[in-house]
Amino acid sequence: MDIGKFPPLLLEKLLQKKGVTDPRVLLGPGLGEDAAVLDLGDTLLVAKSDPITFATDRIGWYAVQVNANDIACTGGTPRWFLATLLVPEQFTEDQAEELFNQVLDACNSIDVALIGGHSEVTYGIDRPIVSGTMLGEVTRERLVRTGGAQEGDSIIVTKGLAIEGTALLALERAQELRDAGVSDDTITQCINLLDLLGISVLTDASTACTVAQVHSMHDVTEGGLITGLREVATASGLGLAIEEGSVPILPPTIEVCQALDLDPLGLLASGALIITLSPEYVPSLLSGLEKKGIDGWEIGRMMPKEEGLISIGRTGEVELPQFSRDELARYFSRPQA
């Protein structure tokens, strides 16, 4: 199989297999759903596991951020983190300590307790891999599902596309970008997106749930905006339409993708949050986000399923493209010169 997420059809097939059931599982595995939710009484427990495999620099920091994002997308608050650190044989003790510090510092920055995990020097890998499990809490009335979008909802995207993919290309493939004509200033600008805009959606999600009646939230990760939108539509049993000209692609992303022949709409985009809600709440949401220093754009509408998944642009209506894997994974799988 190609590098990246399991293909949607394979994943759907696997998720249809039946295992042990428990009535306390309010939200279990499903296409597009960001986390599991367990009913433990007065408070619901939210659980998420996700690895970091593309990055080498700041990998521990990434692991905490992306797992915390998925808790936030349920309307919840991340509380506890477990980290599994797998490193290659050539790793030094100083490098291992630096990796651990990245995880700990990232947890401290968002008031999350690092409560356990596992660390190991592993045979057969040439780069570190960090897999995290984040646990959080959410009240019953605040719970949001990816599959909660409603027909007629407006679709909002925050921050812009594609922060993480752009930064990773600059960090991991700087020389290839130079060879393709991208300046050092632009490469530095791409890397700085990690600190300027960041990949956390905790504030985005918390603000949305506070100022508006949100129906669905989903962070834009592997497969980019298009895959994220498809996952919201599939989970909600709906169609959607987006306006191509309203999609906020960051200028450095456009330059990098043009240089490497990549499509920014399919590029890893952690840091952007998809929110759906009734159109009447859009002004309150955009105003609330602006007060927190977060840009937001209305890019489309949730439609009846029979309307399909469409993009409206200069050439009229076309079917939303589909990416079999993330553009970053596709590029990284190419042989290096």
Strands of 44-52's sheet in order across: 25-27, 36-39, 44-52, 129-138, 77-87, 113-121
Q: What is the pLDDT of residue 52?
A: 83
Our CA dihedral for 125, 126, 127, 130, rounded to 10 degrees, sits at: 10
Q: CA torsion sign, 309 to 311 to 315 to 319?
A: negative
Residues 85-127 have pLDDT tens digits of: 999 999 999 999 999 999 999 999 999 999 999 999 999 998 8
Tell me the C-alpha distance between 117 and 130, whole Å. Answer: 10
Q: Using 70 as the pLDDT threshold, list the residues of the chain that sit under it.
A: 54-56, 335-337
Q: What is the pLDDT of residue 335?
A: 65
What domains sit in the chain, N to C, each tagged with a CATH number? 14-142 (3.30.1330.10), 146-332 (3.90.650.10)
Residues 143-183 have pLDDT tens digits of: 999 999 999 999 999 999 999 999 999 998 999 999 999 99
pTM, entire model: 0.92
DSSP codes, 91-129:
--HHHHHHHHHHHHHHHHHTT-EEEEEEEEE-TT-SS-E
Residue appearing with tokens 């297999």: 17
What are the backbone angles phi and psi of residue 101, rounded to the nearest 5°? -65, -35
Could you tell me how far CA 243 lies from the centroid of its own chain?
A: 21
219: its two tokens: 């962070």
